[in-house]
């Protein structure tokens, strides 16, 4: 493809954007491409643009970079659009979380036992924005591919593929959790093969092979003989929940091991009732979603951003020394290379089901393995999951997803209210009404309040 243009919406996510730049610099088949960074934060946009140019010059990569505050300009003539944008801030999410906690909802209205919807207001703002980008692409670059990187991938990709004709691929890191399992079991990850289908943030390891042999018995042996000692002596990141007691408990409940973020969002509300309960089920910090784990995550983001600005503001710093030129492991650029240059490969993607997983509607976006090439995306038929697991996914993820999208598309406040009434923390009808009104009355949710009158 001549004069390929790749546009990154929300490019101010510096670490992520630089991973894209690094992978582009190391992909010969995409040399000569134009990368257009778009963000509404000029300071961050200038930083990413400056670092990208310096990096490409240092590694002698043939790439052209552009920057803009105008989304329409970024979409003009784009062949691929990577949407990484978070339209609300983490500070706003924390304000909404605190608001909900006043009404008895520990850690906020996150529909934790319904899946990764995020904070209620943030989720709805994100969905509105994602649909708007896809609709704009229909007008400006209707043949372009949209690669959705920011959450909520499950809801957003289902919404965009139903309401627009844009070709959408949702991506997530979660399936790499298999390699964390391999690491703990002492297996060479290069010799591991697996399948982990489901819906985003609710995927299950149906196949796990090491050197061509079923590796589930190795995992079973670890659980029986080593798990308890591992949990007692574990001293890792608060965000590491892949082999937590919660994950093993879900394995015993459903017969397949949960991968990635699944232990956090698999519909088990009883893991999340308070901090001490979280510590019991996840780790000594309470896992990713505790007040300890979440602050650790936010502080990590802040430190990474500060580091990127330090590199940017010192022109004598060699960017490629701080960000070594090695493939990041992200799927975005390899997928683009596969489509553009017919470099066929297998990837984990979020796309409409169309029969890939039995028992789930065709127009629901699922996370499955797929072959990507110049022909596009051909999902691999993974068959059926255990019946009770399929029913669980439908109940805790698909049906609430349908309710959330219906609420957004119709502006029917009653649907949001019914979702809160279904929350195990709700003790009365009045409590649910009050917390919903309080959230919609937050100053940054004014547009949502107008929608849900």
Task: Determine how β-strand 167-170 pairs with β-strand 145-148.
Answer: parallel
Contact 48, 22 (CB under 8 A): no
Tokens read off for 353? 């089901």
Q: Out of 70, 143, 173, 362, which one is annotated catalytic?
A: 173
Contact 92, 444 (CB under 8 A): yes
State the residue for tokens 């993820």: 397
The residues pairing with 35 across neighbouring beta strands, listed in sequence order, are 6, 65
Please give the Cα distance from 206 to 211 (Å, whole number). 17
> Known catalytic residue: 381?
no
Given CA atoms 320, 326, 332, 337 in this order, what sign does their dihedral have?
positive
3-class state of residue 129 by DSSP? helix
Contact 75, 47 (CB under 8 A): no
Which burial class, exposed, middle or buried, applies to 341 when counting CB atoms under 10 A from its CB (0-12, 13-18, 19+)?
A: middle
How would DSSP label each residue in 402-448? Answer: HHHHHHHHHT-HHHHHHHHHTSTT---HHHHHHHHHHHHTSGGGHHH
CB atoms inside a 10 Å sphere around CB 142: 11
Q: Out of 23, 116, 261, 423, which one is annotated catalytic?
A: 261
Cα angle for residues 133, 134, 135 (degrees, 5° grid): 90
State the residue for tokens 């901090």: 275
Cα–Cα nearest to 107, from 278, 241, 253:
278
Which H helix or E strand runs over 337? helix 332-341
End-to-end CA distance of the chain: 48
Cα–Cα nearest to 239, from 196, 281, 275, 292:
292
3-class state of residue 106 by DSSP? coil
CB atoms inside a 10 Å sphere around CB 371: 16
φ, ψ at 252 (rounded to 5°): -70, -30
CB atoms inside a 10 Å sphere around CB 102: 10
> Known catalytic residue: 261?
yes
**Could you tell me the CA-to-CA distances from 436 to 233, 410, 448 in Å, in that order?**
42, 17, 11
Please give the Cα distance from 361 to 342 (Å, whole number). 30
Residues with active-site annotation: 173, 261
């Amino acid at each position: 493809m001549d004069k390929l243009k790749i546009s990154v919406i929300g490019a101010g996510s510096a670490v992520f954007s630089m991973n894209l730049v690094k992978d582009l610099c190391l992909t010969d088949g995409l040399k000569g491409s134009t990368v257009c960074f778009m963000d509404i934060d000029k300071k961050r946009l200038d930083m990413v643009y400056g670092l990208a140019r310096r990096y490409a010059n240092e590694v002698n990569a043939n790439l052209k970079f552009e920057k803009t505050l105008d989304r329409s300009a970024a979409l003009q003539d784009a062949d691929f659009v990577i949407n990484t944008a978070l339209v609300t801030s983490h500070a706003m999410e924390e304000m909404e979380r605190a608001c909900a906690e006043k009404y008895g909802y520990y850690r906020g209205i996150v529909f934790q036992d319904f899946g990764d919807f995020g904070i209620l207001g943030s989720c709805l703002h994100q969905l509105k924005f994602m649909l708007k980008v896809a609709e704009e692409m229909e007008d400006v670059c209707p043949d372009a591919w949209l690669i959705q990187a920011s959450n909520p991938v499950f809801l957003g990709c289902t919404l965009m593929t139903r309401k627009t004709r844009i070709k959408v691929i949702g991506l997530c890191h979660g399936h790499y959790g298999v390699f964390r399992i391999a690491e703990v079991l002492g297996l060479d990850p290069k010799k591991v093969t697996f399948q982990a289908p489901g819906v985003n943030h609710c995927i299950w390891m149906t196949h796990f092979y090491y050197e061509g042999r079923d590796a589930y018995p190795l995992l079973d042996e670890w659980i029986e003989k080593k798990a308890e000692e591992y949990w007692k002596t574990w001293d890792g990141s608060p965000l590491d929940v892949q082999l937590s007691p919660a994950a093993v408990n879900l394995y015993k409940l459903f017969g397949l091991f949960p991968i990635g973020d699944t232990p956090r969002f698999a519909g088990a509300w009883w893991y999340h009732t308070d901090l001490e309960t979280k510590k019991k089920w996840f780790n000594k910090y309470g896992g990713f979603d505790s007040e300890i784990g979440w602050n650790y995550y936010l502080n990590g983001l802040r430190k990474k951003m500060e580091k990127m600005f330090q590199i940017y503001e010192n022109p004598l710093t060699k960017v490629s020394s701080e960000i070594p030129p090695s493939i990041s492991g992200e799927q975005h650029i390899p997928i683009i290379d596969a489509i553009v240059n017919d470099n066929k490969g297998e990837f984990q993607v979020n796309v409409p089901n169309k029969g890939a997983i039995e028992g789930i509607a065709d127009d629901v976006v699922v996370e499955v393995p797929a072959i990507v090439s110049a022909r596009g995306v051909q999902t691999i038929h993974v068959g059926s999951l255990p019946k009770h697991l399929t029913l669980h996914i439908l109940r805790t993820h698909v049906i609430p997803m349908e309710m959330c999208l219906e609420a957004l598309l119709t502006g029917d406040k009653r649907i949001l209210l019914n979702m809160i009434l279904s929350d195990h923390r709700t003790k009365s009808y009045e409590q649910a009404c009050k917390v919903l009104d309080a959230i919609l009355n937050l100053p940054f949710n004014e547009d949502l309040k107008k929608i849900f009158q």
